[in-house]
Amino acid sequence: MKLTDQEKAMLDGAGGAAKRKAMELLIRYGEALGAERFVDTNNVTGVPGWATDFLRHYYKDRGTSYEAIFSLFDLDSDEIVEVPKMSVYSCHLQGSMDPKLWKEQGKTADALADYLQDEAGVAAHGIQVLKTCTPYLAGNVPVKGEHCAWMESSAVVFGNSVIGARINVEGRESTSSAMLTGKIPDWGLHRDEGRLGTHHIAVEVPVADVFNWGMLGYFVGDAVQENIPVLTGDVSNPSLVKHKHFGAAAASSGGIELYNIVGLTPEAASYEMAFGARKPVENLRYGRRERRQVYDTLNSVGSNADVDFVMIGCPHASIEQIWEVATLLDGRKLHSGTNLWIFTSRSVKSVADTTGYTKIIRDAGGYIMTDTCSAFGRTMPPDTKVVALDSAKQAHYLPAMMGVEAWFGTTRDCIAAATTGRWNASAP
């Protein structure tokens, strides 16, 4: 790779051992990708340290200092080096438990102590403790054209598509190295040519609510995998929440990191702008039959209508979604055998606390939880067998990960299941 003088200096150790290790790692990574240079970034989100349970166990025998985990794992270095404060704007994504509701989530006091020790290390190194998969709902909102280094596929697809930022789905090692250096390889979605559409999807049924946007996203991801879809047709202007559920679903059934909707997303003022000089490699349609297939797939592991757990908030719920749940629940109680957990970021929860939504949901018997979710934190109420979900992404992952049955429907269907204990929704 061609290095600038500043990059060469970091590689020569001018910024200390950790930055040298980070540059070595990024150069190996960039060369493997075929990148010729780096771009500068001042917006990095990742999971530096040991916020996930498995790392805690993996390196417990090597010492759980922040430096040890960061060196061995994030920097892929056998030598434990001193880790300075991060050089650029850096944020921590989701973690493995709610530090207040950890008992309800079945976590141990020992695991909590480790989690909080890691968090202290994160803060001490100048990393913002957002603890969410939706950093764009918690204060980290890039601008159009901004080069970012982000993990978390649902956040990346939102940043690229809805905002027009330039982001590849990164990993722990590349984001941690980018936090130290402010560099990330210049390839893929950082480059103009990497952002042009490849597949055209003609939408031929109305797509209006979050539920339908989730199903459309699931179809598109499965159909185009890691390519770049461009949508036209019967789509009304989606809200932030609809984009959030569409992109998360598309990044689950496939590996979509960028989509465009002609006339609606910032890089697709026209069909020609979305594809550039390219012709689509495939033209696909999304009609009634395709929608029904997606619905059946997402409900394929649901057979028992007795629901014992309802999970909302994948990706982490916005305050609008929490308001919707609180409105649906106001004055009602959950069914005696059914639990309701809503996952969100700490900052959104603080608004829910202040506005009274947390109390309404708690009075009904449900919880608003932060930091994690059932799939990421491997956490559900004890003895859960049947789950109701309003997220296509969570419906894709949770049954396989936790061995449960799952129903997928609207938020209203899910809250009805929470109050009656029964799944009573039908296909669109």
Contact residues toward ligand F3S (CB under 6 A) are 94, 133, 154, 248, 314-316, 343, 373, 375-376, 393-394
Q: At what angle do helices 392-402 and 288-298 cross, to 10 degrees?
A: 30
Name the residue nearer to ligand F3S (CB basis): 162 or 268: 162
Name the residue nearer to ligand F3S (CB basis): 187 or 343: 343
Name the residue nearer to ligand F3S (CB basis): 197 or 315: 315
Name the residue nearer to ligand F3S (CB basis): 192 or 320: 320
Name the residue nearer to ligand F3S (CB basis): 297 or 321: 321
Name the residue nearer to ligand F3S (CB basis): 314 or 368: 314
Output the smallest distance, CB 194 to ligand F3S, in A: 24
Output the smallest distance, CB 318 to ligand F3S, in A: 12
Output the smallest distance, CB 348 to ligand F3S, in A: 12
Output the smallest distance, CB 206 to ligand F3S, in A: 26
Name the residue nearer to ligand F3S (CB basis): 317 or 425: 317
Output the smallest distance, CB 301 to ligand F3S, in A: 17
Contact assessment for residue 422 and residue 393, using Cβ atoms and an 8 Å cutoff: no
Output the smallest distance, CB 397 to ligand F3S, in A: 6
List all residues 6 or more positions away from 34 whose beta carbon is below 8 Å from its beta carbon.
187
- List 370's β-bridge partners, or say none: 344
Name the residue nearer to ligand F3S (CB basis): 46 or 315: 315
417 is written with which tokens? 């299941």
Output the smallest distance, CB 395 to ligand F3S, in A: 11
Name the residue nearer to ligand F3S (CB basis): 10 or 387: 387
272 is written with which tokens? 């020609």
Distance of CA 403 to the CA centre of its chain: 22
Which of 425, 403, 416, 428 lies closest to 310 in space, CA to CA? 416
Output the smallest distance, CB 170 to ligand F3S, in A: 16
Output the smallest distance, CB 248 to ligand F3S, in A: 6
Sign of CA dihedral 320, 323, 329, 335: positive
Name the residue nearer to ligand F3S (CB basis): 268 or 348: 348
Output the smallest distance, CB 94 to ligand F3S, in A: 4
List all residues 6 or more positions away from 297 whose beta carbon is below 8 Å from its beta carbon.
218
Distance of CA 78 to the CA centre of its chain: 30
